[in-house]
Amino acid sequence: MGAVEKQRSGLAATGAWDYAPSPESREIVSLEERYGLFIGGEEVSPRSRSWFTTVSPATEEPLAEVAQAGARDVARAVDAAREGFEAWSAWKPSERAKVLFRIARILQERARELAVAESLDGGKPIKESRDVDLPLAAAHFFYYAGWADKLEYAFPGRRPRPLGVAAQIVPWNFPLLMLAWKIAPALACGNTVVLKPAETTPLTALLFADVCRQAQVPPGVVNIVTGDGSTGAHLVRSEGIDKVAFTGSTEVGKAIQRELAGRDIALTLELGGKAANIVFDDCALDQAVEGIVNGIYFNQGHVCCAGSRLLVQESIHDQLVRKLKRRMATLRVGDPLDKNTDIGAINSKAQLERIVELVESGTEEGAEIYQPPCRLPEKGWWFAPTVFTNVAQSHRIAREEIFGPVLSVLTFRTPDEAVEKANNTMFGLSAGVWTEKGSRILWMADRLRAGVVWGNTFNRFDPASPFGGYKESGFGREGGRHGLEAYLRFE
């Protein structure tokens, strides 16, 4: 249209409107050079005498040295938790609640510091760590603090009792939030924990150790052991644990389940996903586009419940894809600490390689790739937001979890076909449905084999809402009253 071209010259004098850099200050976080393990209420040096460096994925800059816990360190942590359990499980539940309330309040007070640390260590945009991770982490502690002295009412007549020592392994995509999902219900139910943060993102867990000290969590109730996969393996093999809670890849989840076979240890797994985001032709289109973007580009797509398979009704495919591509061009990729950044850094080199490999398979198998023009920083690990069209159900990019900012678009014709295609996966963690018809959302939710079905929204979390998978996405629920059950036995 000529008119727009003409008007463009009006602005051409001043150029495009670039937002000036607006970085959140790093000053608020003061990191130690070295972090030991948090065992029995104090920081201790690892008996393994080995350390590793955690780096910022956005700049590859080393942030701190962190202990690599070996078998003896893990055993020591489990012993401390065992010891701590005797006293903690006998505490008056309302007193346990106070401790959790204190943690929640301290998380709120130190929210900015923790948000900056999370973005530094993990690469996620500060607006997400500030507006999503931290508020939700605090909310989880508030929520489960409320349950601590009401367990008898949550399970009337079933005499709920704590399990004992919970071994908890959390992933690198939401380090502090997943810590909160694990620790809050465990403590509320009277258990003690040994938590292993992910190798690439240990910092907020180590800062959380300080939060525990501040909140006067009794010694041995929360123990934190850092390290790579071998530390996790030691933890799962430990004598003296009563429960394993794992969030991470399906592959490791299966290995853990094999390891625990024949042992009397409770297990919950929250694993991978390949969620279908299903868009019907009667939906509010522009808002669906926002939901699609939020579904897959939130946290660089490092989200187990990400809406990575877009199922679009064929009649609106072209229009929707056009809108989506235009919207993708406005995404701001770059410095995670910049308040205007929408997409941050890929968490690690290994993850970037996996994304690249799968994206190459997509092009090779004949899908059509689109990436908006964007300048990626030279240092660090980055991947531009990507969408594939012309994807077939049999392509690897439609079946395997990519865990990156990569969306695969498929089409369907009827609601029945949408259900069939959505369920045709080994995973079953989440799904989204976009339609103006409330009745159709309910019809779909009845038929979708996924732990969470979002209606006209995506990636919404609340501590009161249970979360968990079907099939290879795992079992057990976190959040809500259901989340308590994973940390209780019934007499």
Partner 1 sequence: MSQTLALPRTLELPGGGRLPRVGSVDAVALEARAAELAKRSIKRESKVFALELAIRMMDLTTLEGADTPGKVRAMCTKAMYPDPGEPSVPHVAAVCVYPSLVPVARRALKGSSVKIASVATAFPSGQAPLAVKLADVRAAVEAGADEIDMVLDRGAFLSGRMGQVYEEVVAVKEECGNAHLKVILETGELGSYDAVRRASLVAIAGGADFIKTSTGKVSPAATLPVTLCMLEVIRDVHDETGLVIGTKPAGGIRKAKQAVQYLCVLHETLGVDWMTPDLFRFGASSLLNDVLLQLRKQRTGIYRSPDEFTLD
CB of 8 to partner 1, least distance (A): 5
The residue ranges of DSSP E strands in 17-141, in sequence order, are 34-35, 37-39, 42-44, 51-55, 62-67
CA distances from residue 172 to 201, 211, 230, 346, 380 in whole angstroms, order as listed: 6, 20, 16, 11, 17
| Selected range binding partner 1 among 19-27, 61-69, 145-153, 241-249, rule: CB under 8 A | 19-27
Looking at beta carbons only, is 74 or 316 nearer to partner 1? 316
Please name which of 285, 298, 313 lies closest in space to residue 409, comparing C-alpha atoms.
Answer: 313
How many residues in the shown chain lie near partner 1 by CB under 8 A? 33
Rule CB under 8 A: choose which of 70, 248, 249, 284 binds partner 1.
Answer: 284
| Selected range binding partner 1 among 6-14, 297-305, 306-314, 349-357, rule: CB under 8 A | 6-14
| Selected range binding partner 1 among 13-21, 58-66, 399-407, 418-426, rule: CB under 8 A | 13-21
Active site residues per annotation: 270, 304
Q: Using the rule CB under 8 A, is 11 a contact of partner 1?
A: yes
Q: What's the rounded Cα separation, in Å, for the pair 114 and 463?
A: 19
Residues counted in the chain: 491
Q: What's the rounded Cα separation, in Å, for the pair 109 and 337?
A: 19
Q: What's the rounded Cα separation, in Å, for the pair 232 and 237?
A: 9
Q: Using the rule CB under 8 A, is 140 a contact of partner 1?
A: no
Q: Using the rule CB under 8 A, is 286 a contact of partner 1?
A: yes
Looking at beta carbons only, is 330 or 394 nearer to partner 1? 330
Looking at beta carbons only, is 262 or 373 nearer to partner 1? 373
Q: What's the rounded Cα separation, in Å, for the pair 146 and 73?
A: 33
Count H helices and E strands in the chain, helices first. 18, 20
Q: Using the rule CB under 8 A, is 13 a contact of partner 1?
A: no
Rule CB under 8 A: choose which of 31, 44, 154, 285 binds partner 1.
Answer: 285
Residue 316-355 contact track with partner 1, rule CB under 8 A, x = bound: ------x-------x--------xx---------------
Please name which of 304, 322, 268 lies closest in space to residue 403, comparing C-alpha atoms.
Answer: 304
Please name which of 273, 249, 305, 268 lies closest in space to residue 400, comparing C-alpha atoms.
Answer: 273
Looking at beta carbons only, is 288 or 397 nearer to partner 1? 288
Looking at beta carbons only, is 290 or 400 nearer to partner 1? 290
CB of 339 to partner 1, least distance (A): 4
CB of 111 to partner 1, least distance (A): 16
DSSP 450: -
Residues paired with 338 in a beta bridge: 23
CB of 14 to partner 1, least distance (A): 6
**Exposed e or buried b per residue across 82-100, where buried means at least 16 C-beta atoms within 10 angstroms of its C-beta:** bebbeebbebeeeebbbbb
Looking at beta carbons only, is 14 or 394 nearer to partner 1? 14
**Please, which of residues 97-136 interact with partner 1 by CB under 8 A?**
127, 131
Looking at beta carbons only, is 19 or 153 nearer to partner 1? 19
Task: Give the three-class secondary structure for 299.
Answer: helix
CB of 268 to partner 1, least distance (A): 31
Which residue in this structure is represented by tokens 């349950």?
147
Looking at beta carbons only, is 28 or 350 nearer to partner 1? 28
CB of 306 to partner 1, least distance (A): 18
Looking at beta carbons only, is 226 or 435 nearer to partner 1? 435
| H-helix or E-strand spanning residue 386 | strand 386-389
Rule CB under 8 A: choose which of 180, 186, 276, 283 binds partner 1.
Answer: 283
Those residues whose C-beta lies under 8 Å from the C-beta of residue 248, and which sit 6 or more positions away, are 169, 170, 171, 198, 270, 271
What the block records as the tokens of 270 is: 């929250």
Rule CB under 8 A: choose which of 456, 475, 482, 489 binds partner 1.
Answer: 456
Q: Are 58 and 124 in contact (CB under 8 A)?
A: no
Q: Using the rule CB under 8 A, is 210 a contact of partner 1?
A: no
Please name which of 179, 183, 182, 185 lies closest in space to residue 201, comparing C-alpha atoms.
Answer: 179
Rule CB under 8 A: choose which of 43, 65, 113, 290 binds partner 1.
Answer: 290
What are the phi and psi torsion angles at 474 (to 5°)? Answer: 110, -170
Rule CB under 8 A: choose which of 291, 295, 307, 466 binds partner 1.
Answer: 291
Rule CB under 8 A: choose which of 374, 457, 461, 481 binds partner 1.
Answer: 457
**Please, which of residues 394-453 interact with partner 1 by CB under 8 A?**
436
Q: What secondary structure, in 3-state letters, does 301-358 show? A: HCCCCCCCEEEEEHHHHHHHHHHHHHHHCCCCECCCCECCCCECCCCCHHHHHHHHHH
**Please, which of residues 179-198 interact with partner 1 by CB under 8 A?**
none
CB of 434 to partner 1, least distance (A): 9
CB of 119 to partner 1, least distance (A): 15
In the complex, the residues that contact partner 1 under the rule CB under 8 A are 1, 3-4, 7-8, 10-11, 14, 16-22, 127, 131, 282-288, 290-291, 322, 330, 339-340, 436, 456-457
